[in-house]
Amino acid sequence: MEFKLHPGQLHEVGADAAIGFAYEECADESTWDARWDKATGGLAGDIASSNEFRGKRHSALLIHRPSGLPAGRLVLAGCGKQSALTRVRLKEAAGAAVRRLGAARTETLAVELPAGPDAGWAVRAIIDGVAAAADEPDAHKSAGRKERSIKTVLLLGASGAELDVQRSAAVAAGQRLARELSNEPGNLLPPKELAARTAHLAEDLPLTCEVLHEQELRDLKMGALLGVAQGSSQPPVMIVLRYRPEGKSREGTHLGLVGKAVTFDTGGISIKPSADMHYMKHDMAGGAAMIGAMLAIARLQPKIPVTAVVPSVENMPGGRAQRPGDIVTTRSGKTVEVLNTDAEGRLILADALTYATELGCTHLVDAATLTGAIVVALGWTHTGLFGNDEDWRDAVLAASREAGERMWPMPLGESYSMLLETPVADVANIGPRWGGACTAAAFLQHFAGDTPWVHLDIAGTAWHEKRPTDAPPGATGVGVSTMTELAMSL
């Protein structure tokens, strides 16, 4: 899919389909935009009068052969109140419009930017929405696959936004990669296959990929990661992706991106209920996000070094599996009592965070589908954000707002760390039932040390639990946009 700026207007541009944006309440206090009534020969106004479509958020109206436009079809995307328009709302509206087109053959799509927002801001929101909505998780269907027909997207009224198009196209490619990896079933994407695909990706980009295999992990004394992996016949790996800018980089800043990649999580001996266990193929969404972000970063080439560390395992029960009550020694030398083998993500991240600091990363962000507790706290709409450094936390939050990804700051502190105390080891891998997302973050904080660090719990945002109106079902690619924005802002 190619995105292009176009100087024309909707009534001048021939395309298979066109998208326009409508509001239920406009800034001039009218309830309908007269342009759409004119573009459709009065049909849009008639539909609005019948209350079939009034520009409400998440709604979309498809009109065939609009009389006032050369496009074959017009989709009006509802944005809700014009005064409440945000980047997230515009992204959702663009996605809903593409989903409304469905399987209709649409090779060329013209999109008119809404009046009001900064052109670059609007371009990035629209590209995010269109690119995500045009995808489908049906790669393994032998028949009935939905054809992805959109080849060219013309962005009208966006002069001077060339850099925004470039950045958003790179992010869209990274998000698509992250979704593809996260949607893959565990039998087709065990850790070694994830490593192979990542290494292949790096060949065509300014990236280097190093894969640490089981013996190397033993030599590095990564006992927490190896303990999780020992129940599976699939060997563990740790993937290290490095981007280094040409010329002089910003002094003293080395961004480290750490992503949990449990390619399938049964819970181990502390086995999960069978209902919905198939979603645990997405338990590597954090790692997929960091790999996708590195794809975007390599294409955009910021002036700082970035290193991604992605520990990957399969968590299975069996005769060799880790047991509740086991004690493991991490790369840092700290010991952990494993009270629950289903709290495995924090164990592999512990060794990965330590290793990232050893590689020279000065600022860390990790992303993980870590706890169901964050879903209880924030639902499916916001990623939970924890941090040990206020300035760094605020920088990541600012990047998320600019990227259009919803994140919410959560508490950390000694009160949560105390809940992980155990008489038999330095720290336990779980605390009591309540505040589980906070104690999980407190566990990771032990291994971030004094390095400025942010933890993103994406358990509620990594995939769509229900079929949305503006995006395909399955993985979301959350985190790619924020990490790319963060690297560029630094």
Catalytic residue among 179, 281, 346, 393: 346
Q: Burial level of 140, CB count in 10 A (0-12/13-18/19+)? A: exposed
Contact (CB, 8 A) for 334 and 343: no
Supply the angle between the helices 285-300 and 162-183 in degrees, to the nearest 10. Answer: 150
Place of tokens 């573009």: 39
334 is catalytic: no
Q: Judging by DSSP bridges, how do beta strands 73-78 and 453-457 pair with one another? A: unpaired
Catalytic residue among 81, 272, 334, 401: 272
CA distances from 219 to 107, 307, 331, 356, 447 (A): 53, 21, 10, 16, 19
Contact (CB, 8 A) for 231 and 316: yes
Q: Residue 386 corresponds to which tokens in the numbers above?
A: 């924890």
Give the SS3 label for residue 184. Answer: coil
Place of tokens 């502190």: 413
Q: Burial level of 176, CB count in 10 A (0-12/13-18/19+)? A: buried
Round to whole Å and give the CA distance between 463 and 466. Answer: 9
Residue type for position 153: V
N-terminal to C-terminal alpha carbon distance within the chain: 29
Place of tokens 């840092």: 332
Give the SS3 label for residue 340. Answer: coil
Residue 420's contacts (CB-CB under 8 Å, 6 or more residues apart) are 427, 428, 429, 430, 431, 439, 442, 443
Q: Judging by DSSP bridges, how do beta strands 363-368 and 255-259 pair with one another? A: parallel
Buried b (16+ CB within 10 A) or exposed e, 143-161: eeeeeebbebbbbbbbeeb
Q: Residue 112 corresponds to which tokens in the numbers above?
A: 């008119």
H-state helical runs in 330-474 = 345-358, 373-378, 390-403, 414-417, 436-448
State the Rg of the chain over Cα: 24
Q: Residue 401 corresponds to which tokens in the numbers above?
A: 């707002």
Round to whole Å and give the CA distance between 141 and 57. Answer: 32
272 is catalytic: yes
Cα dihedral angle (174, 176, 177, 182), rounded to 10 degrees?
A: 120
User: What positions carry a catalytic annotation?
Assistant: 272, 346
